[in-house]
Amino acid sequence: GENVEQHPSTLSVQEGDSAVIKCTYSDSASNYFPWYKQELGKRPQLIIDIRSNVGEKKDQRIAVTLNKTAKHFSLHITETQPEDSAVYFCAASPPVTGGGNKLTFGTGTQLKVEL
C-alpha cells in the first residue's frame, strides 16, 4: 500500500517568513495530493490540493508543488502569520475505480509562527 513520509515534524518560523513542508510517497499510481490544516481538537480542513496532471498550484499565500518523477510534493506558505500555527498533514490517494479514494496521511508537521 501507499506510504507517505513528511518532514519536518516541527517547524518554527518568524512571522512574515516562509514555511516549507515536504512529503514523499511510495505508490506511483497516486494521483491526488491534498494538504490539511488541523488546529488542536478540531477537524482537519483542506487548504489546497493538487492532482497529478499539474506540477504546481497556488492559492494566495499557499502553494503546492508536485514532482511525479521523484514522488515528492511540498507545501509552501509565504508571509506567515500567527494564525497559520497548526498541524499540517499531507496525504496521497491512488485512484480506486467506482469506490472511494483512500487517503494515506503523512505524520504531520507542527508549525509555529512566532511574533
C-alpha closest to that of 101 among 6, 31, 3, 23? 31
Contact 43, 26 (CB under 8 A): no
Residue 61 and residue 79 in contact, taking contact as beta carbons nearer than 8 Å:
yes
Which residues from 47-76 bind other proteins, rule CB under 8 A?
A: 49, 51
Candidates 15-23, 34-42, 59-67, 69-77: pick the segment binding other proteins (CB under 8 A). Answer: 34-42
Q: Which of 25, 35, 44, 86 binds other proteins (CB under 8 A)?
A: 44
Pick the closer one to other proteins by CB: 16 or 95: 95
Interface pick for other proteins out of 42, 54, 55, 114 (rule CB under 8 A): 42
Given the rule CB under 8 A, which of 55-63, 66-74, 77-85, 104-112 is the region that contacts other proteins?
A: 104-112
Measure the CA–CA gap between 8 and 19, rounded to whole angstroms: 11
26 touching other proteins, by CB under 8 A? no
* Residue in the block written with cell 499557499: 62
What does 66-107 look like in DSSP terms, one character per residue? EETTTTEEEEEE-S--GGG-EEEEEEEB---TTS----EE--
Work out which of 25, 75, 106, 111 binds other proteins, going by CB under 8 A. 106
Catalog residues that contact other proteins under the rule CB under 8 A: 31-32, 34, 36, 41-46, 49, 51, 89, 93, 95, 98-108, 110
